[in-house]
C-alpha cells in the first residue's frame, strides 16, 4: 500500500519539475538577431556552363553515323564566380566549384549577412562560365529592410537570373 506522504512527495517533485520545464520553455526570451537588425540570406544552387564547340565536317565524317552530333560538349561544368557587395563594401568574393567526381554537379553557396535595418544598396554579380570574362548575371537594387526582416538572394534562370525576395 502506498503511503499518503509518498503521494504528496511525488506531486511536489513532479510539480517542481513541470515548473522548471515550463519556465525554461518560455524564458529567457531568445532572439536570433538584435531587435534593430535585418538578415540577408544568399542561397544559390546552379549548374555551371559548359564549353561546347562545333565539330568540323571532317570530324563528323570520321565518327560512326549514330554518333554524329554537331556539337561536342564535355561533361565537366565550369566554376561559378560570385561577388556580393552591400553599401559598396565587398562582403563575399567566392568561386563555387561543381560537385561530383567528374565535376559535373551543381555548385552551391549559402551565406547569411546581418545588417542594420534601413536602406541598403545591394549588388550581386555572377558568372557561370569562367572562360568568358565579365559577369553574365548582375542584380543591383536599393532595398529598405525592416527590423527582423529576412531578404533572400536567389537564382533562377527561368526568372531571368538573380532576384531578391
Task: Note the pLDDT tens digit of each residue in 105-139.
Answer: 999 999 999 999 999 999 999 999 988 899 999 99
Quick one: which of 114, 133, 115, 111 has its CA closest to 124?
A: 111
- What is the model's pLDDT at position 40? 97
For residues 86 and 159, membership in a common domain is answered with yes
Are residues 16 and 90 both part of a single domain?
A: no
- pLDDT band of residue 157 (cuts 50, 70, 90) is confident
Domain match, 94 and 115 both: yes
87: pLDDT strictly greater than 90:
yes
Residues 78 and 75: their CA atoms lie apart, in Å, by 10
Check if the beta carbon of residue 122 is closer than 8 Å to that of residue 85: yes
Q: pLDDT tens digits for 8-18? A: 999 999 999 99
The DSSP call for residue 86 is E
Q: What's the predicted TM-score (pTM) here? A: 0.77
117: domain CATH number?
2.60.40
Amino acid at each position: 500500500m502506498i503511503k499518503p506522504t509518498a503521494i504528496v512527495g511525488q506531486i511536489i517533485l513532479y510539480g517542481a519539475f513541470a515548473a522548471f520545464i515550463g519556465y525554461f520553455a518560455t524564458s529567457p526570451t531568445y532572439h536570433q538577431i538584435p531587435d534593430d537588425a535585418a538578415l540577408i540570406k544568399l542561397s544559390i544552387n546552379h549548374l555551371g556552363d559548359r564549353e561546347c564547340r562545333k565539330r568540323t565536317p571532317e570530324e563528323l565524317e570520321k565518327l560512326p553515323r549514330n554518333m554524329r552530333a554537331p556539337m561536342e560538349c564535355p561533361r565537366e561544368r565550369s566554376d561559378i564566380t560570385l561577388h556580393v557587395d552591400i553599401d559598396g563594401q565587398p562582403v563575399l568574393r567566392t568561386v563555387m566549384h561543381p560537385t561530383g567526381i567528374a565535376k559535373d554537379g551543381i555548385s552551391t553557396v549559402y551565406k547569411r549577412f546581418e545588417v542594420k535595418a534601413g536602406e541598403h544598396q545591394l549588388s550581386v554579380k555572377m558568372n557561370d562560365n569562367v572562360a568568358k570574362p565579365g559577369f553574365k548575371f548582375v542584380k543591383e537594387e536599393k532595398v529598405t529592410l525592416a527590423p527582423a526582416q529576412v531578404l533572400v538572394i536567389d537564382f533562377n534562370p527561368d526568372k531571368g537570373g538573380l532576384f531578391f525576395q
